[in-house]
């Protein structure tokens, strides 16, 4: 990735054009950034869900059965399709999806089985690491796309107006 040099203003560097985005028109660049931010929202949501399940799994020794009660409440078939639709994790461009998060979230185990608890804890920890890494990569991409948008707006300020909804002057 090569970036064109930017001008320095005080201690901040003005965003510079990035050759990697030259093939995208302004509307496509905005759509790309929106796709990334939508994906980041889904990843952040899943990360919080996985972290919560991991926290509950680790805390179950203080309240035996809490995890099983939660599994029953949240893993029930009723309402599952709506929840799954909300938290479907789709890849952005060439980044692979995190596999089977819904299955991992809904997995029920015998909390009295130390090996099962340890196995689930390991899988949840790994999924959380994958989600965190993916989220960091998304933040980097969002930052690059935002910088490109700012650089283009500085070059041609009227591009900002294309993002505004137009009203029919006859109304």
Domain extents for the chain? 24-161
101, burial (CB in 10 Å: exposed 0-12, middle 13-18, buried 19+) = buried
**Buried/exposed code over 129-155 (b: 16+ C-beta within 10 A; e: otherwise):** ebbeebbeebeebbebbebbbebbeee
pLDDT score for 60: 66
Tell me, what's the pLDDT at 169? 62
Would you say 39 and 138 are in contact if contact means Cβ atoms under 8 Å apart?
Answer: yes
3-state secondary structure of 18: strand
Q: Please tell me the predicted confidence (pLDDT) of residue 135.
A: 94
With a threshold of 0.85, does the pTM exceed it?
no
In this structure, what token pair is assigned to residue 106?
């809904």
Query: Residue 6 gets which letter from DSSP?
Result: -
| Phi, then psi, of 131 in degrees rounded to 5 | -65, -40
What pLDDT was estimated at residue 110? 85
Per-residue confidence in pLDDT tens, the chain, 171 aa: 545 555 555 567 788 899 999 999 999 999 999 999 999 998 998 899 889 888 888 876 666 666 666 656 555 444 444 444 344 444 445 555 566 787 887 788 888 898 998 999 999 999 999 999 999 999 999 999 999 999 999 999 998 887 777 666 666
What local confidence, expressed as pLDDT, does residue 168 receive? Answer: 64
Angle at 62 between CA 58 and CA 67, to 5 degrees: 55
Q: Among 67, 50, 42, 56, which residue's Cα sits nearest to residue 104?
A: 50
In sequence order, what are the residues at sequence separation of 6 or more whose Cβ sits closer than 8 angstroms to the Cβ of residue 138?
36, 39, 40, 43, 92, 95
104 neighbors 124 (Cβ within 8 angstroms) = yes
């Amino acid at each position: 990735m090569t970036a064109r040099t930017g001008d320095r203003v005080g201690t901040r560097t003005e965003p510079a054009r990035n050759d990697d985005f030259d093939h995208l028109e302004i509307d496509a660049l905005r759509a790309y950034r929106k796709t990334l931010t939508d994906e980041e929202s889904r990843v952040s949501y899943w990360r919080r869900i996985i972290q919560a399940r991991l926290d509950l799994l680790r805390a179950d020794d203080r309240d035996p059965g809490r995890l099983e009660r939660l599994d029953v409440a949240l893993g029930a078939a009723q309402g599952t399709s709506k929840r799954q639709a909300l938290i479907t994790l789709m890849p952005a461009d060439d980044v692979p999806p995190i596999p089977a998060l819904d299955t991992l979230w809904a997995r029920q185990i015998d909390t009295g089985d130390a090996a099962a608890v340890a196995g689930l804890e390991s899988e949840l920890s790994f999924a959380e690491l994958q989600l965190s890494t993916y989220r960091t990569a998304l933040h980097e991409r969002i930052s690059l796309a935002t910088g490109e948008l700012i650089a283009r707006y500085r070059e041609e300020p009227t591009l900002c107006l294309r993002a505004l909804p137009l009203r029919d002057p006859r109304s």
